[in-house]
Each structure stands twice: as structure tokens, then as C-alpha cells.
Copies of this chain bind each other. A is one copy, B any other.
Amino acid sequence: VLVQTSFGKVMQRAVTEKETATSDPTKKLGPLPGEVGTRSPFEKLQKKPSDTSSRTPLQDLYGTLTPSDLHYERHHGGVPAIDPEKYELLIHGMVKKPMVFKLRDLKQFPSVSRIMFLECSGNYRGNKEELSPQEICGLTSQSEWTGVMLSTLFREVGVDPRATWFLAEGSDAAVMTRSIPLQKGWEDTMLAYAQNGEAIRPEQGYPARLVLPGWEGNTCVKWIRRIEISDQPFMTREETSKYTEAIGGGKIRQFSFVMDARSIITYPAYPNPVEKGWIELRGIAWSGRGRIVRVEISTNDGRSWSAAELQGPVLDKAHTGFRYLWHWNGDETAIMSRAVDETGYVQPTLKQLSDARGGNTGGYHFNPVTAWIIKRDGRVLFRPEAKK
């Protein structure tokens, strides 16, 4: 494909019929600079959608950023089509001045950029051996988010000092709502309009969404159209019927916002086999409570643990890359990683989690250590764990 310029035209004239049909790329003029780049046709990257979500292919990625078109998706009424010229955000309730902001208004306020992970609090599957990192915990992704701090907008509308909660409401078909403690809004919540350098993608909330650093994805309301400041939570369906978890003793935990520390080895991992010899174990670790301070690796089924190397810069509430050089002698073994965050929290085993929650293993905020079995023939399989 040659461009339609004088350059392109001379080229076309010059290309004779005996143009070499070789597979040697050095003998064939390639496409000239283009308007928008492409992905190699040899790279098949797929989010593997289910009815309710689609998951980032963690085992196929490198480094710590998620390509925007591979960001995980979880929505409750599909992806709305929003015209950015018509888009408006209403902030009202316990405020001095209820206000409406157009997208261009939001973009004019002082801005901030920050690299952070998002994670759905329902990010766990573990029922069989043939599970990839994508299937086990692909409901997490990382982007550089840019937007205006919600505190900047709170300041503009004059939030009543007696207020304690706010409602965030989306303009999707579910008009998805969550109640959020006002404190988080003042502290570090971002009203984001950009992701990885460009406008937020439709699946991630175009043209604007909340990003609550370290808090479960459902609170980071996408396609946000309204914020109501209040002195009590609204007890929406998402924070009662959903996104609550049984913790034993007949109790259900509500408003469990923070995502606890977690890690996963993404290489080696199902479905990719390995060979005997030197293997660089690779993975990501993250915590909703701050920085990852350590990732520990066991290559002998948990008998001993060693520190992995962390890829700097280690950022607050961000996916952090880790690596660990290992020589595999070919014997069957289990390898695993556990994350430690700056609060001293150590990523638990499934048994520890289950014990702490009265035997419950379903539901949300389930972040157990993930073990991979390395078979003698090099196959790598997930190890579904017994509860007790």
C-alpha cells in the first residue's frame, strides 16, 4: 500500500511487474509511514469475553502497562455510545453551588496523571488445572490515567463540611451507582478523561470516569454523569446484592473497598510449556494499600522462599513487575509468588483466606497465592487448592 502523494505515485510507476515475490523483507519495499499504526497480524491478543466480563491476557503481556484495547471489561449494561459534545457531569446535593460541567470544562481544571492498576473485586477463578493467568485473575489492568482530582471539583462546588458520602452514577444502561465515602473523594479520587495518552476508551468509561486508587473497580464508576453529595450511603444494588462477601458467622462484609495485595507468576504459566534449564520467572504484584515492598518466590512448593527482583520505579498502587532467575532441573515441582505491601500485609494462601472467612471461598476480594505445577514434560498447570 503506497500513499497517494507524488512520492507514492513515482514509486508505483517504478514498481515493475517482475517485483520480487520473495519472503525476504529486505528485498521488498514496505508500506510507507501511515496515519495510525497497526498490530502485527502474527500477534493474536484476545480478552476472552464471557457474558459479563472480558479479561486481560496477562500471560501474553510484557512489562506493567496494559494496551488500552486489552484492558479488562466489566459492565452492567453494556458499553454506552456517548457523544463528547453532549456529555455533562452534574454535581449536586450537599454543596454550595450545584454545577454542571461539560467535558471541555473538566479538561480545563488543573490536571494530574498517574499510573495505577484497576481490579474487579470479583477477580478470581480456580476450579481446574487448565487455567491461564488471564482466566485466574485477568480482571486487572494498568494504565496511565489523566484527569482532574475530584477534590478540585469538590472545591469548586463547595462541599458542605457535614457531608460524609457521595453517590457516583454512570450513564450506561444500568445507570450504575455506588456510594463512596467523601474522604476518598477529597483524598485521591481522580475524575479521569484520558488513559495511556489518549481519551479513555469506550469500554473504560469514555468520555469520563472515576478512578479510586487501590479501590475495587466497581467503585470507579465509568461514563459518570452525576455525583450527589450526601450524609449517608445510598445502599445501591451494587453495594448490597453485589460486591459484598460472606465472611463466616452468617455475616456479610459491606463496603469492602480496598484491594488487598496480590501477585501472580505470568511466566511460566498455563498454557505455555517450559524447557529444562534457566528460566526467568516473571509476574506482577500489586496492592490497593500502597507500594509493593517485596515479592517472594518459592520454586519448591512453599518449602523455602526467596526475594524476587522488583522492576523500578515501584509506584504506589500500581502493578509492579517482578523477576526471579531459576534453574529448573526437570523434576516436577510447584512454583509460586507472594506479594508483601508497605503495610506488612502478606498475600495469603487460599486456606488462610478460607479460614479467616468461615470457610467461604466464593465472592469478592479473593487474592490467594497462585501455584503452578511444572510437570516433568514441561507442561505448566494451575493447582486448584483444597479449602482446608
Measured CB to CB, the residues of A under 8 A from B are 3, 5, 7-8, 23, 25-40, 42-43, 45-54, 60-71, 73-75, 77-86, 108-113, 144-146, 171-173, 175, 193-194, 196-199, 201-204, 206-207, 223, 278-280, 282, 311, 313, 315, 321, 323, 325
Contact = CB atoms under 8 A, between A and B. Distances in A.
A281 B145 CA distance: 18
B63 A144 contact: yes
16 contacts: A3-B51, A26-B80, A29-B78, A30-B81, A31-B78, A33-B53, A34-B73, A37-B203, A40-B199, A42-B84, A62-B197, A62-B199, A63-B197, A64-B113, A108-B278, A111-B280
A261 B275 CA distance: 45
A50 B77 CA distance: 43
A135 to B, nearest CB: 14
Given A34-B47, A37-B68, A69-B36, A26 B173 contact: yes
A23 B49 CA distance: 27
A108 B282 CA distance: 11
Closest 8 CB pairs of A and B: A30-B78, A25-B80, A62-B194, A37-B69, A7-B51, A33-B54, A63-B113, A62-B146
Contacts of A25: 80-82, 171-173, 223
Contact of A36 (B47, B51, B82, B113): B47
A197 B66 contact: yes
B48 A203 contact: no
A202 B42 CA distance: 10
A109 B42 CA distance: 22
B79 A198 contact: no
A36 B7 CA distance: 35
Nearest to A58: B197
Nearest to A37: B69
A49 B33 CA distance: 6
A201 B146 contact: no
A67 B68 contact: yes
Contacts of A49: 3, 32-35
Nearest to A42: B84
Contacts of A40: 82, 84, 199, 201-202, 206-207
Contacts of A77: 26, 29-30
Contacts of A83: 23, 42
Contact of A193 (B26, B30, B62, B71): B62
A357 B51 CA distance: 64
B36 A46 contact: yes
Contacts of A311: 112-113
Given A73-B37, A206-B40, A323-B110, A28 B199 contact: no
A191 B37 CA distance: 21
Contacts of A37: 47, 68-71, 73, 201-204
